[in-house]
Amino acid sequence: MRLILIFAIGLIFGIGISISGMANPAKVINFFDIAGTWDPSLMFVMGGALVTTFIGYRFVLPRPTGPVFESEFQLPTATRLDTRLIGGSALFGIGWGIAGFCPGGALPALGTGRSEVFIFVCALIVGIFVARAVNTALRNRQTASA
Amino acid sequence: METVFTPIQSLSGGVLIGWAAVLLMLTMGRIMGATGILAGILSPSSSSDLTWRLVFLAGMVMGPLVVMLVTGSLPEVSVRVSTPALIIGGVIVGIGVTFGSGCTSGHGVCGMARLSKRSIVATLTFMLTTGITVFVIRHVIGG
């Protein structure tokens, strides 16, 4: 039951991404090309998603019994605006502007079977492992100097 | 090259994305971030953790196929950049979302909906750098 529901939620996300245009790099890049062939569609995606989630969370998060299948809500607790957050997000934007895919747009797009999506997702996974290796190296250096 | 302005499809798609985020919080108590879900598959904390993430990913991937069943055609995926650009962009996105702890779905939708200060700053940052990158590629280098 639990897994069927999770599958259905993933499917809703995948359908939403598919019809919204987030899985279409040409449309994504045009959204950011205000000085050129601007396509404001993605503003409607963000608006629709954000308002729906904002309202929905107001009903879900105060539930005294927590989530249905887990004991508690797992929400991020970090509050610091550090260089990691800002530098990482800045890099993400550069990559998004170059390729036109973000992770949430690309993963459902795998279902179209297009080779470009597989190439992007493989590169994305490589990037995640590169960042983890850098993270580990940084941590080891900190431990060594401490 | 121009793309067609699709306010109604985009708004409906956005509302569905929002519903998925709310339902995942209601059932699993989790933020719906594509980065987090993928990262968890690459290094799962337990087998049940891996299972729900893989099932969610399977649902996501089925999305375009359901769209095809209903509308008769797959959603448009128009890639107008070169393969090296896809690879370089993909690696940079992977590094960025790992250090930045999230992407458009995690920070831009779920985090902003929680009014998280970190997510608001992250979203403004990546929207800005994406815009600058597209401007530079199309109008400075490509101009």
By Cβ distance, the residue of A10, A66, A125 closest to B57 is A10
pLDDT at A130 over 80: yes
Taking the Cβ of residue B36 and every Cβ of chain A, the question of whether any pair is shorter than 8 Å is answered with: no
Rounded Cα distance between B60 and B66, Å, is 10
Across residues A12-24, what is the average pLDDT? 97
pLDDT at A22 over 70: yes
Taking the Cβ of residue B112 and every Cβ of chain A, the question of whether any pair is shorter than 8 Å is answered with: yes
Task: State the ipTM, two decimals.
Answer: 0.96
pLDDT at B51 over 70: yes
Closest-CA distance of chain B to residue A37, Å: 5
pLDDT digit string (tens) for B10-46?
Answer: 999 999 999 999 999 999 999 999 999 999 999 999 9
* Percentage of chain B exceeding pLDDT 90: 97
- pLDDT category at A142 given cuts 50, 70, 90 is confident
Q: Concatenate the DSSP letters of all residues of B12-35 into one string.
A: HHHHHHHHHHHHHHHHH-B---HH
Whole-number pLDDT of residue A44: 98
* Percentage of chain A exceeding pLDDT 90: 93
pLDDT at B75 over 70: yes
Asked which of A78-82, B11-15, B91-95 is least confident by mean pLDDT, the reply is A78-82
Q: Do A93 and B95 make contact, defined as CB atoms within 8 angstroms?
A: no
Taking the Cβ of residue B89 and every Cβ of chain A, the question of whether any pair is shorter than 8 Å is answered with: yes
By Cβ distance, the residue of B62, B79, B121 closest to A85 is B121
- Number of A/B CB contacts below 8 angstroms equals 495
Whole-number pLDDT of residue A146: 66
Whole-number pLDDT of residue B119: 98
pTM of the model: 0.96
pLDDT at A145 over 80: no
Q: Do A88 and B116 make contact, defined as CB atoms within 8 angstroms?
A: no
Count of structural domains, chain A: 1
Q: What residues have CB less than 8 Å from B142, skipping those under 6 apart?
A: none
Taking the Cβ of residue B15 and every Cβ of chain A, the question of whether any pair is shorter than 8 Å is answered with: yes
By Cβ distance, the residue of B26, B100, B123 closest to A88 is B100
By Cβ distance, the residue of A14, A69, A95 closest to B92 is A95
Rounded Cα distance between A91 and A95, Å, is 6
Rounded Cα distance between A111 and A93, Å, is 24
Domain carrying residue A71? 2-145
Q: What residues have CB less than 8 Å from A126, skipping those under 6 apart?
A: B90, B91, B94
Across residues B52-72, what is the average pLDDT? 97
B123 contacts in A (CB within 8 Å)? 89
Q: Do A131 and B110 make contact, defined as CB atoms within 8 angstroms?
A: no
- pLDDT category at A17 given cuts 50, 70, 90 is very high
Q: Do A20 and B10 make contact, defined as CB atoms within 8 angstroms?
A: yes
Whole-number average pLDDT of chain A: 96
